[in-house]
Every structure is written in structure tokens, then in C-alpha cells.
Structure 1
Amino acid sequence: MLHLKKQILVEIILSTGDEMNQIKPKIGLASNKNVKENYLTKDNLNRINKKFDFRWGQFDEESSWDEPPNTNQKVKKKFANFCKDLDGLIVCHGSPLVDEEVLKVAKNLKFIGELEGDRFSQRIDLEASFKKNINVVDTTHGSSYPVAEWALALSIVGLKNGGYHFRKMINGEISFPDNDRTNDPGFIMGELWERKVGLIGCGHIGRRLLSFLKPFNTENYVYDPYLNRDIADIYQFTQTSLEYIMSNMEVIICLAPLTPKTEGMIGEKELNLIQPGSILVNVSRGAIIKTDALIKRLNKKDIIASLDVFDPEPVPVDSPIRKMENVFLSPHVAGVTKKCQPRFFSIMIEELERFFSGHKTKYNLSDFTISNRKGL
């Protein structure tokens, strides 16, 4: 019996020693202080510290969705030194560019993750990273949850003619003074049930929105030239052309990213294809739709627009779109929620756990991302 107890004790000591001697992958986050304070919850920190040797480096480079950070040599040197011994690097607002110069110093680097790069991760030189066979991921889609929710909500608000009725209410007016609703678009089109819905773009937001649309039994169509055809079968929609979406849908929802190719993609020709009574929703970027052409089309007062984005932003105080009764506006709030920020980080931890356990990551950036950045 004593011999058995000693054996068990030895096994416990050896097991504990193995755990203590196990080398944790070194993971660094390069960001500004705001990211550290708002994206790193206590639970997330406990989780990442359990499996990784985690450290944070403060950097305060200017952030842009459209351009890589422009960093001076002093900060570059500091950044390269921070990355030198890392196995994995996470970047976010404030981080310098991860370029070839940094990668030469960071010889152990196997994983780079962008927390919130608006799908195109301007803080990472993808070509240089791919040449070194570094696994690169982006968790920006953490904001796809509220954006998809708001796209759904704006669709219903538009179908109910919500912009018109809200204006009447706050102006102290009565929408139906004679109790006749027959000409109200909200009466005519006021249900999402079994409507024909067209999505322009079908990335993470579009796919989440398609799942939200299921209970409404909608007939769904998608225009997305970059989409793998298998996705249509999985999510049960029909892939089609932009022209078909614009001319045949009862609800049109723009979800496309802003690239050189999509900027101004929807102009007067496309807007004039929209059937009277239809609803146009934009939760992506205002510059995808040409502003003058949009205002001109809305002036016909035969369609309704629900817009979370506009070009320019903020919406100019003297813009006629502010006063249009057939328009519902929100100030680019779709993806901005308190829950999004820690969600970016929790998804990143999941990706780190997959990668350093020898599994495939889910949210990789690729040559396709480069093509999309350039609008090819």
C-alpha cells in the first residue's frame, strides 16, 4: 500500500513538472491603449494567459481602413524589437505595419492576426507574410452580428415606411388624418414575409443575414462575383447579376466592401432599374452608391431607402436626403457596439488555439484578399 502511494505521488510530481516545463507560445498584441482597455476583458486575458505567454506592446500609429500606417524608423525599430521573439502577433488600432523589414527580425513568427481591419487588414503586408508561410487571419467579422441585425431591422423599417411615419410623429402631425391607409407604402409593402430579397455582397455579414431571414421564408438572391458557388447551395440562395438584383427585388441590401472596383458601382443606371415600391438598404459603405444619383432617384418618391451609411459622412446638415420622407437614416451605427470589441479578441483566441494545436484556422486572409483590395 505504501509503495502504491509513493508511485502515485511520483506520477503527480512528474506530471506537474511536465506542465511547468511545457513552453507556451509567445503571443504579442501591438495596439494603442484604447484597444487594451476595451477589447481585453478579464475572461479573455485569463483564457489567453492559460495557454500562451502573452504580452502587450503600446503603439500609437494613426489607423486607417484604407491605407497602411506610415511609421517612422524609430517606431519601426521598437516594433521590430517587440516582435523579435514572438511566435504569434496580433495587431489592431495603433499598430505599425507588419512589413518585410519586421518579418526579417521576427524569425519565429508563424501566426499574424488582425483584430479589426475592416476585412482588408492594412496593417499587414500580406505578400511578404505569405512568402514566409505565415498563417494570417482577420477577425473583423466579429462585427457581422450587429451589422446583420441592423440590415434586417432597416429592411423591416423600410417596408413599414418607418421614416415617413417617424417624421410625422416628431413633427406633431397625423399620418392618416382620414384613417385611409390604402396609399401608404407601409400598408402595401409592410411585411417581410416571403419577399424577394437581393444581397449585394455575401461575406460574413451576408451569410449571417441569410440565417436571420430564414424565419421570414424569403426568396433570396445574391450578387457577389467573388463567391464560391458551394455557398449558394449551403445557404439556399440563387447567385445572379447586379442588374437582376436591382431590377427584380422587393428588398435590396448592399453589403459589399468598398474597393476600387465597388466605389460608385451603383449609379444612375442601376438605381433606375429599381422597381417602384421596392426598398433599398445600405449598411456597407456610402461611396458604393453614387450620392447624386441616389438623391435623384429618391426624388421620384416611388422607392424607400433605409441608410446606415452615406457619402460623405457625417451626412451634411444641408443635404436634401435629411428631409426626404421616403428615407430612414442612421449615423453609421450598424457595427459599433460595446460587445463587438471583446468579441474580436475572443475569436482571435479561438484562432490561436486552433493554430497552435495543429488545426486549421477558420478566418484566413489569402491571395483573394489581395485581389479584393485592389479591385481585381
Structure 2
Amino acid sequence: MNARRRVGIVATQASWDRYVGEAALKRLSALAEIVWLEFPGSSRTLSPPPADPESMARLAAFVPDLDALIVSHGAPRITAGIMAAAPRLAMIGDTHGDRFAARVDVAAAKRACIAVVDTTNGSSDPVAEWALALILLGLRNAGAHFRRLIEGELLWPDRDVFLKDPGYLNGELTGKTVGLVAVGNIGRRLLELLAPFHVKPLAFDPYAPAALAGVYDLAFTSLDTLMATADVVVCLAPLTGETKGLIGKAQIEAMRPGTVFVNVSRGAVVDSSALVARLQRQDIIAGIDVFDPEPVPVGSVLRSLPNVFLSPHIAGVTAACEPRFFDLMVDEVERVFAGHQPRFPLIPRDP
């Protein structure tokens, strides 16, 4: 039966070259015949190309004998009409959907009893690692030390000055209270990385299963309580209509002096003006990988503040993680073809 199955991949040439690894392709070949349909397009956008008649006709002609369809950058939107043209289709997978369902009509798939999967979480590991790095850098006030060193300053000629440094006073992560704003795939991986430090984890996530509290020994709390009590606040919330501006002026002002604030999610989740105003008082430290607007404007005060460590939205960008998107998708095809439920069903972030 498996030999008669067909898996179609719809993507740009660039996506195929960067994300489709040989080992995963070999595993998929053992499950089914693989066919590929190339479309032009950007390798960095989540939005599908315009649904022009020619593209939709090419796609409709490609899908009739498919058992699974994997889409990525460049693929047109998989509509109810496309699904109707593929009576054998059991699964649609988007390797770069970022849980927004830009390329798949999830409601139509549900009506057709087609599983829909999103493996964008392939980049969760490096994002969690970079979040941990920014936490450690912030606690040690490393950004300020680095700035002073490269400017040629001879640090600590008077050791009494060092005794007042935040990195000396609050520099250890062990035992700290760490607040996570959202505990999705990245948050759960970060909790694993934090475990050896014996932190006291707090989390705000109204959509997280309550069972996670027992699994990770964390306390769910309100956003206001988290912001006011955590030694370290890590923003991991996806950007949706509901989360835009979630961390506003009141929440930013609630952070106690000495708090380390880290954002590796999306800049617009945070009120940028309120954050900059608080950072200018230099009583908190920030590690910022994302900002609104992005990139950080050349003239922004953030670029010169000693209590801010900046990185240019690199948390999830590593060569090692790119093949993982497709590798996880092959895992999902294996599960669905075996009659199991997928591990990463696509539940859109916004209606």
C-alpha cells in the first residue's frame, strides 16, 4: 500500500535547496513516491502569492492522486477547491506557516477530514537557546561591559565601583524567578534549558494546558503579577490581533528596578515607546532580538543605551535548524500514514 502513496511538495527552488535534507527525503521516499511542483516567489514571506488562475490551475492539476501535500514558500493557497480535486488527500503540511494558516484553508480541511500540520517550530530550539543567552548576558550586565571595553576604557581601576554594578549584585541566574510570557514550543524548550539553574518559573498564557504546571513545576499567573514579581521577564508571545501591544506601559512600569527583560518573539507585542522610556531611566536591563519598527532605526536611542543588548532578529536563524522544518514534516507524514494523529496540528493564531 505504501508504494502506491504519493506525496507532493510545492515550493520555490530556494526552499527546496535550503530545507529539504537528503536524510529526510530518503525517509519520505521509503513511505511514498515524491513529486515536486516548483513555484516562483520569495523564500522569506509567510503570505501566499496572488491566487491567479494560472497558478491555481497548475496546482489543481498536480494534486488529484496525492495522499499528502507539503507546501512552503511560493505555494499558492490550498483552498477548498484544491482539496476537492484531491480525493485521496489525508494530510496537508506547511513547513513555514508560523501558525497563521496563510497557505491553507484550515476550516475547509477540517470539513474534508484532512489533517493540517505546521512545523514552523523547527526553529524553536535556537530561539530558546538565544533567549537563555540573552538572559545570562542581561544578568551579568555584559552589554554595558562590552561597550566600555571596545571604547577603550580600563574597567574597574577602583574595585569599589564594581561592587555597585548590576552584574555583580544580581548576576546569577540560579534561583531567580523567571517569568515567561507564553509557553508554546519555544517556552517549553526554554523551561528545559532553565531546569539546571533551579529557577522559579512563572508563566502567563491563557491558552496553555493547565497540565504544563505540573510537568514543568511552574506557576501560571496573570500578566501583571508576572511583570511585577519576576527577576527576568521573557517575551515569547506570537504576534496576533490579541497580543499586539500586550506588554504595554502599565506592564513595563510594573517591572522592579534590576529586572532583566528579554524579547525574542515579535517587536509589536511590546509597546516600543514605553519600553524605550523605561530603558532610558537605566534601572532595568534588556536583551532585544526583535523590535517595532524593525530593523531598529539607525538613529534610535536603543543603539546607544548601555543597558540594552541588541541582536538583529537572529534568534531562530541557524543553518542547523533549516532542514528541521522538513524533517519534522516527514515525522508527521509517518504518523498520519500509520493512522495516528499529527503532533503539530495547525491551529491558527487568529480567526
Structure 2 length as normaliser, TM-score? 0.96
Q: Give the conservation status (yes or no) of the 8 Å contact 2:15–2:43.
A: no
Q: 1:373 aligned to 2:350?
A: yes
Name the amino acid aligned to 2:40: D
Q: Give the conservation status (yes or no) of the 8 Å contact 1:61–1:96.
A: no
Secondary structure at the aligned position of 1:202 is classed as coil
Aligned to 1:107: 87
Aligned residue runs from structure 1 range 187-226, under 5 A: 187-226=168-207
Name the amino acid aligned to 1:196: T
Q: 1:252 aligned to 2:233?
A: yes
Aligned to 2:69: 89
* 5+ long unaligned stretches in structure 1: 1-20
Aligned to 1:232: 213
Aligned to 1:283: 264
- Which deviates more from structure 2 when the two are superposed, residues 296-305 or residues 100-109? 100-109
Cα deviation for residue 60 of structure 1 reads 2.0
- Which deviates more from structure 2 when the two are superposed, residues 85-94 or residues 59-68? 59-68
Secondary structure at the aligned position of 2:34 is classed as strand
Cα deviation for residue 24 of structure 1 reads 3.2
Secondary structure at the aligned position of 2:69 is classed as strand
Structure 1 length as normaliser, TM-score? 0.90
Aligned to 2:304: 323
Q: Give the conservation status (yes or no) of the 8 Å contact 2:48–2:74.
A: no
Secondary structure at the aligned position of 1:197 is classed as strand
- Which deviates more from structure 2 when the two are superposed, residues 67-76 or residues 91-100? 67-76
- Which deviates more from structure 2 when the two are superposed, residues 300-309 or residues 112-121? 112-121
Aligned to 1:243: 224
Aligned residue runs from structure 1 range 1-376, under 5 A: 23-62=3-42, 67-180=47-160, 181-365=162-346, 369-370=347-348, 372-374=349-351
> In structure 2, do the counterparts of structure 1 residues 250 and 22 end up closer, same or farther at CA, with 3 Å as the change threshold?
closer
CA RMSD of aligned residues (A): 1.4
Cα deviation for residue 62 of structure 1 reads 5.0
- Which deviates more from structure 2 when the two are superposed, residues 212-221 or residues 40-49? 40-49
> In structure 2, do the counterparts of structure 1 residues 68 and 34 end up closer, same or farther at CA, with 3 Å as the change threshold?
closer
Secondary structure at the aligned position of 1:373 is classed as coil
Q: Give the conservation status (yes or no) of the 8 Å contact 1:69–1:122.
A: no
Cα deviation for residue 66 of structure 1 reads 6.2
Q: Distance in 2 between matches of 1:214 and 1:34?
A: 38
1:63-99 CA-to-partner distances (Å, cap 9, x unmatched) read 7766444221111111111122111000111111001
Cα deviation for residue 41 of structure 1 reads 1.8
Q: Distance in 2 between matches of 1:326 and 1:283?
A: 17
Q: Give the conservation status (yes or no) of the 8 Å contact 2:2–2:31.
A: no
Relative contact order, higher structure (CA 8 A, sep 6+):
2
Secondary structure at the aligned position of 1:363 is classed as coil
Name the amino acid aligned to 2:23: D
Secondary structure at the aligned position of 1:90 is classed as strand
Moved over 3 A (4+): 21-24, 61-69
Q: Give the conservation status (yes or no) of the 8 Å contact 1:38–1:342.
A: yes
Count, aligned residues: 350
Name the amino acid aligned to 2:350: R
Secondary structure at the aligned position of 1:272 is classed as helix
Cα deviation for residue 236 of structure 1 reads 1.1
Give aligned-pair identity as a percent: 44
* 5+ long unaligned stretches in structure 2: none
